[in-house]
Structure 1
Amino acid sequence: MVRRDSRDGLFKCWYEDLIDHDPKDSLVEARQCYAVSEDGVTWEKPELDIVIEDGCKTNVVLGGANGVDHAHSLNVIEDPFPSDDARRFVGLFSHYPPFQGEIRAAYSPDGIHWTVDEQRPAFGTLGASMGDASMLHYDHSARCFVANCRHWHQGHPCLSPRNPIGPVNPGPRYPHDFSRQNRRRIWFSESFDLLHWSQPYLVVCPDHEEDNLDDGFYGMVYDQFGSFYVGFLSVFHRVLNEIDVQLVISRDRKQWHHVNKRQPWLTLGAPGEWDQHNIAMTSSVIEVGDELFIYYGGANCHHDYFIWGPREGMDHPEVHDRNLTQFGLGLARLRKDGFVSVSSGALREGLLVTRPFLSTGTSLVINGRCGKDGYILAEVLDHFDELMPGRSRQACDVFTGDSVSHKVTWQGESELPAARPEFGGDTVFPWKKTTPYRKLRFFLRNAELFSFRLTEA
């Protein structure tokens, strides 16, 4: 996973290293390594003295030291309001053994030197026994941490003789709802101190519309764009033993909706490429100039053939030679707000009218791209659908370029007039007289409109 340090501007990456003690066994030991980059593309693995192997320095920062012998699926964020600089970076990770899904919290002043909290986090009544792949976020409005996590006690369904009902696998069972028997679902929990978490709340799970009984949701990170949250959902296809990424959207982070007919958004690489079987996201996107940097983990191997294959007696090259399994960090780039656009062709002019909205902004900025002979024009209306003075399409200075931040002008002027007072005014609520309810009307030809925003002039 990758974060950009708000203080020094460096890109910092934490990634997992697996130690294979016995190729005939399914158990591997995990630890966390560190890399750094100035531009987010060219990376350096610094030689650190935290973990020494065979007399040599390594870039291992967690696991094999810190009193932690096995550190898996570390997820890190920068705390915007740390109690002290020693806790500027915070993280959650899974600690084994014993193999019981124990979550631990850790703190660091620089992302390199970590202190593991002796107190185990408690997720409601579940304690520290949560599944792996917890994704950590920060809610700036509530000033609390948010975890999208996996519920440990909702484990494998008893559909296989390898998972019989018993003390180790007691349930619960939901024979009327197959999705609730799925091990991999997304839960939501909040905390003010990284230790005391709210009772996990189920927010995303496979449903009947998936039309595929074997799909599970491995993990999800999200980002806020305007009033929407965009989630990057890593979907595990168990029969194929592959993972890809789909998009989901929400307004409150608890009710999520699939988009693009549930098709992959980040697709697997072609056969023979380094990410042909697995793509997963564990980092939020990073804005760099006019682009969004989207980091993902990829692999040329299947999800777990090399782990569980030996125990199952599987006959596959990845089982016989674990050196064939290669993992890497990938970077996808997207223009700002480039997830979706309202587009028009060259034959007919397109028309887009917004709903009435409130905004204190006084200038209109659009993110658009025009093709050959294409254009975008804008009008400003009040909530009675009447044109605001001087803000018609005839007065609009035509936009014919490609820009993520173009300020719209009308005969050289960009200021948006305030809305007219409501009919009759309002003596009880005087603010209604000047509330700027406005609407926008866009005209497009052979052009794409990705987003718009109202800003202060």
Structure 2
Amino acid sequence: MSERRVLFLDLADVEARQNVVQAVCEAEKHPNNPVLPLGDHHEWDSLQARPWEGRTVLYDEEERLFKCWYAGKDVGVERWWNTGYAISDDGVHWDKPQLGLHEYRGRSDNNICLRGWGPVVKDVEEDDPARRFKMIVKGPPRARMIRAGYSPDGIHWTEEAQIDLPEWDGGAPDIVALIKDEQEADASRRWKMIWQAVLPNNKHGPERVRVKHIAFGSDLERLTASADNPVLHPNDSTEQENHYLMLAPYAGQYVMAYEYGWYVPNGTGRFGMYCADIRLAVSRDGEHFSRVQTHQPLIRRGVRGDWDSGSLVIADKLVEHNDRLY
């Protein structure tokens, strides 16, 4: 018998079936959620601490720590975000170390590690210790320019080459996910990046909606967009909108956990209240994805009154640690 792990997500390995149905097994929520607390009212992340612009949680095998790069914002009316850095022994109890790198309201006793934001990769195969951590950066100080960021420790960052794909038309799109794909045999496709553009909508709601595109490269500075983009479009399914997603090479396939969004027509805002949960898609080649039981959430919203009863956002990476998936 083969020892190959079979996921049964696209059912391509199933020769026949009778009296069985495919169902999505929902993820279990930790009872201590939310585990990353907001800052105090005088701190930079007093309003938001979320995997939105800052996108990554990973487990550092060398240091035996969970590490998080997240987006934070205060209660002011200005539209801005910084990237905060947090660490944890168990993924549940998090510490925000005082880094002393960037000032907020005249003080540097905070955990801000970068004024910009983006997804992070720890590249254990990198020979240059100053480039062990890598990020595709958007935001200040060059707001309209996407660039490569490098760090020896995930805390102290140096920004280098501009990253500019022809498909961006000189713009700076939101970078949704960045991975180094260790199961990819083709070295020219080892690095994978997903970004989002906007295209016309075919449902009620906004005229244009966010659509996901993918690019491949031998490193994060040499990326080429897929000729078959987009990889995820709300027009192809029943959701009205999606923003961010997780991309994970896993068991020879590619698992995508994506934000499935819809508008509730309750008189809030232009189209109603935006709601979202997390649903599942899968691919055999990392480029062409199919949704899995689109009516079944992988991560369900909380019930009314819970802290997560509105819309859910997911970080860009899967964490596999001690036989558990986070």
| Common fold: TM-score over 0.5 | yes
User: What amino acid is the match of 1:149?
Assistant: W
Matched, 1:255 2:288: yes
Q: 1:15 aligns with which of 70, 84, 88?
A: 70
- Describe the shift of the 1:260–1:113 C-alpha distance in structure 2 as closer, same or farther (beyond 3 A): same
Which structure's CA Rg is the greater one?
A: 1
Identity %: 26
Q: 1:205 aligns with which of 226, 233, 241?
A: 233
Question: Is the contact between residue 67 and residue 85 of structure 2 (CA under 8 Å) also seen in structure 1?
Answer: yes
Matched, 1:80 2:106: no
> Number of paired residues?
255
CA distance in 1, matches of 2:257, 2:91: 20
User: What amino acid is the match of 1:258?
Assistant: R
- Describe the shift of the 1:209–1:76 C-alpha distance in structure 2 as closer, same or farther (beyond 3 A): closer
CA distance in 1, matches of 2:142, 2:321: 41
SS at match of 1:217: coil
User: What amino acid is the match of 2:177?
Assistant: M
Q: Which residue matches 1:129?
A: 171
CA distance in 2, matches of 1:2, 1:225: 17
Aligned-pair distance for 1:10?
A: 1.0
Q: Which residue matches 1:194?
A: 220
Aligned-pair distance for 1:284?
A: 2.0
Higher relative contact order by CA 8 Å / sep ≥ 6: 1 or 2? 2
Structure 1: runs of 5+ lacking an equivalent: 64-70, 160-176, 294-457
Structure 2: runs of 5+ lacking an equivalent: 1-55, 264-271
Question: Is the contact between residue 211 and residue 242 of structure 2 (CA under 8 Å) also seen in structure 1?
Answer: yes
Give the 5 Å matches for 1:46-445: 46-53=97-104, 54-63=106-115, 71-72=116-117, 74-95=118-139, 100=144, 102-117=145-160, 119-126=161-168, 129-140=171-182, 141-143=185-187, 144-151=190-197, 154=198, 157=200, 182-200=208-226, 201-207=229-235, 209-210=237-238, 215-238=240-263, 239-293=272-326
- Describe the shift of the 1:275–1:20 C-alpha distance in structure 2 as closer, same or farther (beyond 3 A): same
Question: Is the contact between residue 196 and residue 211 of structure 2 (CA under 8 Å) also seen in structure 1?
Answer: yes
Q: Which residue matches 1:32?
A: 83
- Describe the shift of the 1:270–1:192 C-alpha distance in structure 2 as closer, same or farther (beyond 3 A): same
User: What amino acid is the match of 2:230?
Assistant: L
Question: Is the contact between residue 84 and residue 111 of structure 2 (CA under 8 Å) also seen in structure 1?
Answer: yes
CA distance in 2, matches of 1:128, 1:43: 38
CA distance in 2, matches of 1:57, 1:208: 47
CA distance in 2, matches of 1:187, 1:138: 17
Question: TM-score, length-normalised on structure 2?
Answer: 0.70
C-alpha distance after superposition, 1:321-342 (max 9, x if no partner): xxxxxxxxxxxxxxxxxxxxxx
CA distance in 1, matches of 2:236, 2:81: 35
User: What amino acid is the match of 2:99?
Assistant: L
- Describe the shift of the 1:99–1:48 C-alpha distance in structure 2 as closer, same or farther (beyond 3 A): closer
CA distance in 2, matches of 1:208, 1:188: 17
SS at match of 1:265: coil
SS at match of 1:86: helix
Aligned-pair distance for 1:222?
A: 2.0
Question: Is the contact between residue 19 and residue 28 of structure 1 (CA under 8 Å) also seen in structure 2?
Answer: no
Aligned-pair distance for 1:138?
A: 1.0
- Describe the shift of the 1:208–1:50 C-alpha distance in structure 2 as closer, same or farther (beyond 3 A): closer
Cα RMSD, aligned residues only: 2.6
CA distance in 2, matches of 1:145, 1:61: 24
Aligned-pair distance for 1:219?
A: 2.3
Question: Is the contact between residue 121 and residue 127 of structure 1 (CA under 8 Å) also seen in structure 2?
Answer: no
User: What amino acid is the match of 2:219?
Assistant: D
SS at match of 1:48: coil
CA distance in 2, matches of 1:252, 1:279: 27
Runs of 4+ displaced beyond 3 Å: 52-56, 96-100
- Describe the shift of the 1:80–1:129 C-alpha distance in structure 2 as closer, same or farther (beyond 3 A): farther
- Describe the shift of the 1:17–1:276 C-alpha distance in structure 2 as closer, same or farther (beyond 3 A): same
- Describe the shift of the 1:263–1:196 C-alpha distance in structure 2 as closer, same or farther (beyond 3 A): same
Question: TM-score, length-normalised on structure 1?
Answer: 0.51
C-alpha distance after superposition, 1:176-219 (max 9, x if no partner): x679x743111110122322321353111123542x6xx12212
CA distance in 1, matches of 2:186, 2:170: 23
Aligned-pair distance for 1:241?
A: 1.0
CA distance in 1, matches of 2:109, 2:141: 25
SS at match of 2:180: strand
